[in-house]
Structure 1
Amino acid sequence: MALKLTGTPKSSCTLKVLLTLAEKGISNYEFIDIDLMKGEQKVPSHLAKQLFGVVLILEDGEISLYESRAICRYLARKYDNVGTPLLPDLSNLTKMGYFEQWASVEMAILMLITGEPKNEELVHSLLATLAQKLDVYDGAILAKQKYMAGDTFTLVDIFYMPLMSYMFRMGFGHMITDRANVKAWGRVYKNNFPFNAIRLTKLDFLLPSRIKIFALKPVRLEHCNN
Protein backbone atom coordinates (compact mmCIF):
# COMPACT_ATOMS: atom_id res chain seq x y z
CA MET A 1 0.00 0.00 0.00
CA ALA A 2 1.35 3.43 -0.98
CA LEU A 3 2.17 6.02 1.63
CA LYS A 4 -0.28 8.88 2.08
CA LEU A 5 0.99 12.29 3.19
CA THR A 6 -1.44 15.03 4.19
CA GLY A 7 0.02 18.52 4.41
CA THR A 8 0.69 21.74 2.54
CA PRO A 9 3.86 22.99 0.78
CA LYS A 10 3.47 26.25 2.75
CA SER A 11 4.39 24.35 5.90
CA SER A 12 8.05 23.93 6.78
CA CYS A 13 7.10 20.65 8.46
CA THR A 14 5.62 19.28 5.24
CA LEU A 15 8.70 20.35 3.30
CA LYS A 16 10.95 18.40 5.66
CA VAL A 17 9.03 15.21 4.95
CA LEU A 18 8.89 15.84 1.19
CA LEU A 19 12.65 16.36 1.14
CA THR A 20 13.15 13.16 3.12
CA LEU A 21 11.03 11.21 0.64
CA ALA A 22 12.97 12.75 -2.24
CA GLU A 23 16.35 11.86 -0.73
CA LYS A 24 15.11 8.29 -0.32
CA GLY A 25 13.90 8.21 -3.92
CA ILE A 26 10.36 7.39 -2.81
CA SER A 27 7.83 8.60 -5.38
CA ASN A 28 5.05 6.08 -4.85
CA TYR A 29 2.99 8.08 -2.37
CA GLU A 30 -0.18 10.11 -2.38
CA PHE A 31 0.08 13.77 -1.43
CA ILE A 32 -3.06 15.45 -0.11
CA ASP A 33 -2.76 19.24 -0.06
CA ILE A 34 -5.13 20.62 2.56
CA ASP A 35 -6.31 24.23 2.67
CA LEU A 36 -5.47 25.73 6.03
CA MET A 37 -7.28 28.97 5.22
CA LYS A 38 -10.49 26.98 4.91
CA GLY A 39 -9.81 25.20 8.17
CA GLU A 40 -9.58 21.76 6.60
CA GLN A 41 -7.14 20.77 9.35
CA LYS A 42 -9.96 21.19 11.90
CA VAL A 43 -12.57 18.93 10.32
CA PRO A 44 -13.47 15.76 12.27
CA SER A 45 -11.87 13.38 9.75
CA HIS A 46 -8.53 15.19 10.10
CA LEU A 47 -8.77 15.55 13.89
CA ALA A 48 -9.33 11.82 14.17
CA LYS A 49 -5.79 11.33 12.83
CA GLN A 50 -4.09 14.53 14.01
CA LEU A 51 -5.33 15.19 17.54
CA PHE A 52 -4.00 18.75 17.70
CA GLY A 53 -5.62 19.88 14.45
CA VAL A 54 -2.45 20.95 12.69
CA VAL A 55 -1.22 20.16 9.26
CA LEU A 56 0.89 17.04 8.91
CA ILE A 57 -0.09 13.36 8.80
CA LEU A 58 1.70 10.34 7.32
CA GLU A 59 -0.31 7.16 6.81
CA ASP A 60 1.46 3.89 6.10
CA GLY A 61 -1.08 1.10 6.09
CA GLU A 62 -2.49 0.92 9.61
CA ILE A 63 0.15 3.30 10.94
CA SER A 64 -0.76 6.99 11.25
CA LEU A 65 1.92 9.43 12.40
CA TYR A 66 2.24 13.16 12.96
CA GLU A 67 5.11 15.46 14.04
CA SER A 68 7.49 16.10 11.16
CA ARG A 69 10.72 15.01 12.80
CA ALA A 70 9.14 11.75 13.98
CA ILE A 71 7.87 11.11 10.44
CA CYS A 72 11.28 11.86 8.93
CA ARG A 73 12.97 9.48 11.37
CA TYR A 74 10.36 6.81 10.62
CA LEU A 75 10.93 7.12 6.87
CA ALA A 76 14.70 7.12 7.29
CA ARG A 77 14.52 3.86 9.26
CA LYS A 78 11.85 2.23 7.09
CA TYR A 79 13.85 2.91 3.93
CA ASP A 80 17.25 2.55 5.54
CA ASN A 81 18.71 0.65 2.56
CA VAL A 82 17.15 2.88 -0.10
CA GLY A 83 18.43 6.17 -1.47
CA THR A 84 20.52 8.50 0.68
CA PRO A 85 21.42 7.24 4.20
CA LEU A 86 19.96 9.86 6.53
CA LEU A 87 20.73 8.45 9.98
CA PRO A 88 24.09 7.62 11.56
CA ASP A 89 25.02 4.07 12.47
CA LEU A 90 22.57 3.25 15.26
CA SER A 91 25.18 1.05 16.92
CA ASN A 92 27.63 3.95 17.17
CA LEU A 93 26.66 5.75 20.36
CA THR A 94 28.98 8.68 19.70
CA LYS A 95 27.59 9.39 16.24
CA MET A 96 24.02 9.00 17.48
CA GLY A 97 24.74 11.37 20.36
CA TYR A 98 26.07 14.08 18.07
CA PHE A 99 23.21 13.54 15.65
CA GLU A 100 20.63 14.05 18.40
CA GLN A 101 22.57 17.01 19.77
CA TRP A 102 22.47 18.91 16.49
CA ALA A 103 18.88 17.89 15.84
CA SER A 104 18.00 19.42 19.22
CA VAL A 105 19.92 22.60 18.41
CA GLU A 106 17.90 22.96 15.20
CA MET A 107 14.68 22.86 17.22
CA ALA A 108 16.03 25.42 19.68
CA ILE A 109 16.89 28.06 17.06
CA LEU A 110 13.85 27.58 14.84
CA MET A 111 12.42 31.01 14.11
CA LEU A 112 9.88 31.99 11.49
CA ILE A 113 8.78 35.57 11.04
CA THR A 114 5.28 35.53 9.62
CA GLY A 115 3.31 38.37 8.13
CA GLU A 116 4.08 42.03 8.80
CA PRO A 117 6.08 42.60 12.00
CA LYS A 118 4.04 44.36 14.66
CA ASN A 119 6.94 44.91 17.04
CA GLU A 120 9.96 46.14 15.12
CA GLU A 121 12.17 46.20 18.21
CA LEU A 122 11.42 42.53 18.92
CA VAL A 123 12.08 41.57 15.30
CA HIS A 124 15.49 43.28 15.37
CA SER A 125 16.30 41.54 18.65
CA LEU A 126 15.39 38.13 17.22
CA LEU A 127 17.40 38.77 14.06
CA ALA A 128 20.42 39.76 16.16
CA THR A 129 20.10 36.51 18.12
CA LEU A 130 19.80 34.52 14.89
CA ALA A 131 22.87 36.28 13.48
CA GLN A 132 24.89 35.26 16.55
CA LYS A 133 23.84 31.64 16.15
CA LEU A 134 24.64 31.66 12.44
CA ASP A 135 28.08 33.02 13.32
CA VAL A 136 28.61 29.95 15.52
CA TYR A 137 27.54 27.66 12.69
CA ASP A 138 29.80 29.47 10.26
CA GLY A 139 32.90 29.76 12.41
CA ALA A 140 32.78 26.87 14.86
CA ILE A 141 30.76 24.12 13.17
CA LEU A 142 30.69 24.27 9.38
CA ALA A 143 34.28 25.48 9.29
CA LYS A 144 35.28 22.06 10.65
CA GLN A 145 32.73 19.73 9.09
CA LYS A 146 30.84 19.50 5.82
CA TYR A 147 27.33 19.06 7.19
CA MET A 148 25.36 20.16 10.22
CA ALA A 149 25.80 16.94 12.22
CA GLY A 150 29.19 15.82 10.93
CA ASP A 151 30.87 14.83 7.70
CA THR A 152 27.88 12.99 6.24
CA PHE A 153 24.51 14.31 5.13
CA THR A 154 21.71 13.45 7.60
CA LEU A 155 18.17 14.36 8.53
CA VAL A 156 19.56 17.30 10.51
CA ASP A 157 20.49 19.02 7.24
CA ILE A 158 16.99 18.40 5.91
CA PHE A 159 15.50 19.89 9.07
CA TYR A 160 17.35 23.15 8.38
CA MET A 161 16.54 23.50 4.67
CA PRO A 162 12.99 24.96 4.86
CA LEU A 163 14.05 27.56 7.44
CA MET A 164 17.04 28.61 5.38
CA SER A 165 14.99 28.86 2.20
CA TYR A 166 12.28 30.90 3.92
CA MET A 167 14.91 33.38 5.05
CA PHE A 168 15.52 34.26 1.41
CA ARG A 169 11.82 34.67 0.73
CA MET A 170 11.50 37.00 3.69
CA GLY A 171 14.39 39.16 2.57
CA PHE A 172 17.07 37.87 4.96
CA GLY A 173 19.07 35.81 2.48
CA HIS A 174 22.15 37.93 3.08
CA MET A 175 22.40 36.34 6.52
CA ILE A 176 23.24 33.11 4.67
CA THR A 177 25.31 34.43 1.76
CA ASP A 178 27.44 36.66 4.02
CA ARG A 179 28.69 33.57 5.86
CA ALA A 180 30.91 31.55 3.54
CA ASN A 181 30.66 28.20 5.31
CA VAL A 182 26.89 28.35 5.78
CA LYS A 183 26.51 29.35 2.14
CA ALA A 184 28.81 26.50 1.05
CA TRP A 185 26.79 24.01 3.11
CA GLY A 186 23.63 25.02 1.23
CA ARG A 187 25.34 24.76 -2.13
CA VAL A 188 26.79 21.33 -1.35
CA TYR A 189 23.28 20.07 -0.73
CA LYS A 190 21.93 21.75 -3.86
CA ASN A 191 24.72 20.42 -6.07
CA ASN A 192 24.29 16.85 -4.83
CA PHE A 193 20.50 16.76 -4.89
CA PRO A 194 19.89 13.67 -7.08
CA PHE A 195 16.41 14.43 -8.38
CA ASN A 196 14.84 16.64 -11.03
CA ALA A 197 14.14 19.80 -9.07
CA ILE A 198 12.95 23.38 -9.28
CA ARG A 199 14.08 26.51 -7.52
CA LEU A 200 12.47 27.43 -4.25
CA THR A 201 14.69 30.38 -3.39
CA LYS A 202 17.11 32.79 -4.98
CA LEU A 203 20.04 30.65 -3.84
CA ASP A 204 18.78 27.50 -5.53
CA PHE A 205 17.66 25.57 -2.47
CA LEU A 206 15.68 22.84 -4.18
CA LEU A 207 12.64 20.65 -3.88
CA PRO A 208 11.33 17.80 -6.07
CA SER A 209 9.59 19.04 -9.21
CA ARG A 210 6.50 16.94 -8.46
CA ILE A 211 5.65 19.28 -5.58
CA LYS A 212 3.40 22.21 -6.43
CA ILE A 213 5.28 25.26 -5.16
CA PHE A 214 3.51 28.51 -4.37
CA ALA A 215 4.46 31.80 -6.04
CA LEU A 216 7.92 33.12 -5.22
CA LYS A 217 6.85 36.32 -3.55
CA PRO A 218 6.60 37.41 0.09
CA VAL A 219 3.68 35.59 1.69
CA ARG A 220 2.43 34.86 5.15
CA LEU A 221 3.97 31.51 5.99
CA GLU A 222 2.04 28.90 7.91
CA HIS A 223 3.75 28.51 11.27
CA CYS A 224 4.56 25.01 12.40
CA ASN A 225 5.65 23.85 15.83
CA ASN A 226 6.57 20.26 14.99
Structure 2
Amino acid sequence: MKMALGFLTVILIASFAPFAYASDPSPLQDFCVAVNDSIATVFVNGKICKNPKMVVADDFFFSGLNKPGNTSNPLGSKVTAVNVNQIPGLNTLGVSLVRIDYAPYGLNPPHTHPRATEVLVVLEGTLYVGFVTSNPADPNQKNKLFTKYLYPGDVFVFPQGLIHFQFNVGHTNAIAFAGLSSQNPGVITIANAVFGSDPPINQDVLTKAFRVEKNVIDYLQAQFWWNID
Protein backbone atom coordinates (compact mmCIF):
# COMPACT_ATOMS: atom_id res chain seq x y z
CA MET A 1 0.00 0.00 0.00
CA LYS A 2 2.78 2.42 0.96
CA MET A 3 4.67 1.57 -2.22
CA ALA A 4 1.57 2.22 -4.34
CA LEU A 5 0.92 5.52 -2.55
CA GLY A 6 4.55 6.58 -3.03
CA PHE A 7 4.39 5.75 -6.74
CA LEU A 8 1.17 7.75 -7.09
CA THR A 9 2.81 10.72 -5.33
CA VAL A 10 5.76 10.63 -7.75
CA ILE A 11 3.39 10.54 -10.72
CA LEU A 12 1.42 13.53 -9.39
CA ILE A 13 4.59 15.56 -8.76
CA ALA A 14 5.88 14.73 -12.26
CA SER A 15 2.58 15.77 -13.80
CA PHE A 16 2.81 19.20 -12.18
CA ALA A 17 6.54 19.67 -12.93
CA PRO A 18 6.07 21.46 -16.28
CA PHE A 19 3.99 24.15 -14.60
CA ALA A 20 6.68 24.76 -11.97
CA TYR A 21 9.14 25.77 -14.68
CA ALA A 22 6.88 28.26 -16.51
CA SER A 23 8.57 31.59 -17.22
CA ASP A 24 5.67 33.78 -16.13
CA PRO A 25 2.82 32.96 -13.75
CA SER A 26 -0.39 31.85 -15.43
CA PRO A 27 -3.26 34.37 -15.32
CA LEU A 28 -6.15 33.77 -12.93
CA GLN A 29 -8.50 36.09 -14.81
CA ASP A 30 -9.28 37.11 -18.42
CA PHE A 31 -6.69 39.88 -18.27
CA CYS A 32 -4.70 42.02 -15.85
CA VAL A 33 -3.88 45.30 -17.61
CA ALA A 34 -0.75 46.73 -16.00
CA VAL A 35 -0.76 49.96 -14.03
CA ASN A 36 2.07 52.36 -14.85
CA ASP A 37 4.92 51.78 -12.38
CA SER A 38 5.21 55.49 -11.65
CA ILE A 39 1.73 55.58 -10.09
CA ALA A 40 1.77 52.11 -8.50
CA THR A 41 1.89 52.00 -4.72
CA VAL A 42 2.39 48.23 -4.47
CA PHE A 43 5.33 46.30 -5.91
CA VAL A 44 4.83 42.69 -6.98
CA ASN A 45 6.54 40.16 -9.27
CA GLY A 46 5.22 41.77 -12.42
CA LYS A 47 2.76 44.64 -12.39
CA ILE A 48 -0.44 45.26 -10.47
CA CYS A 49 -3.78 45.25 -12.27
CA LYS A 50 -5.80 48.16 -13.53
CA ASN A 51 -9.45 48.23 -12.48
CA PRO A 52 -11.18 46.05 -15.14
CA LYS A 53 -13.94 48.66 -15.38
CA MET A 54 -11.36 51.18 -16.58
CA VAL A 55 -9.78 48.92 -19.24
CA VAL A 56 -10.06 50.06 -22.87
CA ALA A 57 -9.09 48.57 -26.24
CA ASP A 58 -5.94 50.71 -26.41
CA ASP A 59 -4.57 48.80 -23.40
CA PHE A 60 -4.07 45.87 -25.81
CA PHE A 61 -2.80 47.89 -28.78
CA PHE A 62 0.54 49.06 -30.19
CA SER A 63 1.23 50.77 -33.51
CA GLY A 64 4.48 51.28 -35.37
CA LEU A 65 6.20 47.95 -36.04
CA ASN A 66 5.92 48.70 -39.76
CA LYS A 67 8.54 51.45 -39.28
CA PRO A 68 12.24 50.52 -39.53
CA GLY A 69 14.41 51.01 -36.48
CA ASN A 70 17.39 53.36 -36.58
CA THR A 71 20.49 51.25 -37.21
CA SER A 72 22.91 54.21 -37.20
CA ASN A 73 24.92 52.97 -34.23
CA PRO A 74 28.18 51.04 -33.69
CA LEU A 75 26.42 47.67 -33.96
CA GLY A 76 24.31 48.44 -37.01
CA SER A 77 21.15 47.00 -35.46
CA LYS A 78 18.06 48.15 -33.61
CA VAL A 79 15.66 46.15 -31.45
CA THR A 80 12.15 47.58 -31.16
CA ALA A 81 10.50 45.86 -28.20
CA VAL A 82 6.78 45.37 -27.64
CA ASN A 83 6.47 44.02 -24.11
CA VAL A 84 4.34 44.85 -21.09
CA ASN A 85 5.85 48.34 -20.98
CA GLN A 86 4.44 49.10 -24.44
CA ILE A 87 1.20 47.06 -24.19
CA PRO A 88 -0.10 47.03 -20.60
CA GLY A 89 -2.58 44.32 -21.56
CA LEU A 90 0.28 41.82 -21.90
CA ASN A 91 0.59 41.72 -18.11
CA THR A 92 0.33 38.06 -16.87
CA LEU A 93 -0.07 36.73 -20.44
CA GLY A 94 3.51 35.49 -20.77
CA VAL A 95 4.33 36.73 -24.28
CA SER A 96 6.02 39.68 -25.99
CA LEU A 97 7.39 40.64 -29.38
CA VAL A 98 10.34 42.45 -30.94
CA ARG A 99 11.23 43.78 -34.36
CA ILE A 100 14.95 43.71 -35.19
CA ASP A 101 16.44 45.81 -37.99
CA TYR A 102 19.96 45.16 -39.27
CA ALA A 103 22.09 47.35 -41.50
CA PRO A 104 24.40 45.49 -43.89
CA TYR A 105 26.75 43.50 -41.63
CA GLY A 106 24.77 44.69 -38.63
CA LEU A 107 25.01 42.62 -35.46
CA ASN A 108 22.65 41.81 -32.62
CA PRO A 109 25.54 40.88 -30.31
CA PRO A 110 25.77 37.88 -27.98
CA HIS A 111 23.14 38.27 -25.27
CA THR A 112 20.67 36.30 -23.17
CA HIS A 113 17.03 36.59 -22.18
CA PRO A 114 16.92 35.32 -18.59
CA ARG A 115 13.14 34.89 -18.58
CA ALA A 116 12.20 33.80 -22.10
CA THR A 117 12.67 31.48 -25.03
CA GLU A 118 12.80 33.35 -28.34
CA VAL A 119 11.35 32.31 -31.71
CA LEU A 120 12.84 34.36 -34.58
CA VAL A 121 11.43 34.65 -38.10
CA VAL A 122 13.28 36.43 -40.92
CA LEU A 123 11.31 38.74 -43.19
CA GLU A 124 14.09 40.22 -45.30
CA GLY A 125 17.79 39.57 -45.79
CA THR A 126 20.17 36.80 -44.75
CA LEU A 127 21.13 36.25 -41.13
CA TYR A 128 23.81 34.09 -39.55
CA VAL A 129 22.42 33.12 -36.13
CA GLY A 130 23.44 30.86 -33.30
CA PHE A 131 23.36 29.99 -29.62
CA VAL A 132 25.73 28.32 -27.17
CA THR A 133 24.75 25.63 -24.66
CA SER A 134 25.31 25.94 -20.93
CA ASN A 135 28.39 24.35 -19.32
CA PRO A 136 28.43 20.57 -19.96
CA ALA A 137 28.59 18.15 -17.06
CA ASP A 138 31.71 16.55 -18.54
CA PRO A 139 34.67 18.92 -17.89
CA ASN A 140 36.42 17.52 -20.98
CA GLN A 141 33.67 18.81 -23.25
CA LYS A 142 33.15 22.36 -24.46
CA ASN A 143 30.01 24.46 -24.68
CA LYS A 144 28.37 23.48 -27.97
CA LEU A 145 27.57 26.09 -30.62
CA PHE A 146 24.50 25.70 -32.87
CA THR A 147 24.44 27.97 -35.94
CA LYS A 148 22.35 28.41 -39.05
CA TYR A 149 22.03 30.73 -42.05
CA LEU A 150 18.47 32.05 -42.24
CA TYR A 151 16.59 33.42 -45.25
CA PRO A 152 13.16 35.08 -45.60
CA GLY A 153 10.52 32.82 -44.09
CA ASP A 154 12.98 30.81 -42.00
CA VAL A 155 12.40 30.33 -38.27
CA PHE A 156 14.94 29.64 -35.51
CA VAL A 157 14.55 29.06 -31.76
CA PHE A 158 16.87 30.38 -29.02
CA PRO A 159 16.26 28.46 -25.76
CA GLN A 160 15.64 30.44 -22.59
CA GLY A 161 18.69 31.89 -20.88
CA LEU A 162 21.27 30.73 -23.45
CA ILE A 163 23.71 33.13 -25.11
CA HIS A 164 22.70 33.84 -28.72
CA PHE A 165 23.29 36.31 -31.56
CA GLN A 166 22.24 37.34 -35.07
CA PHE A 167 24.51 38.79 -37.78
CA ASN A 168 23.42 40.23 -41.12
CA VAL A 169 25.78 38.65 -43.64
CA GLY A 170 24.12 40.34 -46.63
CA HIS A 171 24.84 43.54 -48.53
CA THR A 172 21.32 44.86 -47.89
CA ASN A 173 19.22 45.61 -44.82
CA ALA A 174 17.63 42.70 -42.98
CA ILE A 175 14.45 42.53 -40.89
CA ALA A 176 13.32 39.90 -38.39
CA PHE A 177 10.52 39.56 -35.88
CA ALA A 178 10.71 37.47 -32.73
CA GLY A 179 8.20 36.23 -30.17
CA LEU A 180 9.31 35.69 -26.58
CA SER A 181 7.72 33.60 -23.85
CA SER A 182 7.57 36.35 -21.22
CA GLN A 183 5.79 39.67 -20.84
CA ASN A 184 9.19 41.12 -19.84
CA PRO A 185 12.00 38.82 -21.11
CA GLY A 186 14.90 40.93 -19.93
CA VAL A 187 18.17 41.13 -21.85
CA ILE A 188 21.79 40.81 -20.76
CA THR A 189 24.26 41.92 -23.44
CA ILE A 190 27.38 39.95 -22.57
CA ALA A 191 30.11 42.45 -23.49
CA ASN A 192 28.22 45.36 -21.93
CA ALA A 193 27.63 43.51 -18.68
CA VAL A 194 31.21 42.25 -18.33
CA PHE A 195 33.19 45.27 -19.55
CA GLY A 196 30.74 48.16 -19.20
CA SER A 197 29.23 47.68 -15.74
CA ASP A 198 28.97 50.57 -13.29
CA PRO A 199 31.03 50.38 -11.16
CA PRO A 200 33.42 48.30 -13.28
CA ILE A 201 34.28 44.73 -12.35
CA ASN A 202 37.64 44.46 -10.60
CA GLN A 203 40.36 44.07 -13.24
CA ASP A 204 42.01 41.23 -11.31
CA VAL A 205 38.82 39.26 -11.77
CA LEU A 206 38.68 39.90 -15.52
CA THR A 207 42.37 39.34 -16.25
CA LYS A 208 42.19 35.94 -14.56
CA ALA A 209 38.83 35.02 -16.10
CA PHE A 210 39.85 35.89 -19.67
CA ARG A 211 43.58 35.06 -19.28
CA VAL A 212 44.73 38.34 -20.79
CA GLU A 213 46.98 41.18 -19.67
CA LYS A 214 45.66 44.13 -17.69
CA ASN A 215 46.13 46.52 -20.63
CA VAL A 216 43.60 44.49 -22.64
CA ILE A 217 41.04 44.84 -19.86
CA ASP A 218 41.87 48.56 -19.60
CA TYR A 219 41.14 48.94 -23.29
CA LEU A 220 37.87 47.00 -23.18
CA GLN A 221 36.56 48.79 -20.10
CA ALA A 222 37.33 52.15 -21.72
CA GLN A 223 35.07 51.43 -24.70
CA PHE A 224 31.54 52.74 -25.08
CA TRP A 225 29.26 49.70 -24.98
CA TRP A 226 26.05 50.16 -26.95
CA ASN A 227 22.85 48.58 -25.62
CA ILE A 228 20.80 46.74 -28.24
CA ASP A 229 17.44 48.04 -26.99
Say yes or no: TM over 0.5.
Answer: no
In terms of Rg, which structure is larger? Answer: 2
TM-score (norm 1): 0.24
* Larger proportion of strand: 2
* Larger proportion of helix: 1
Q: Higher relative contact order by CA 8 Å / sep ≥ 6: 1 or 2?
A: 1
TM-score (norm 2): 0.24
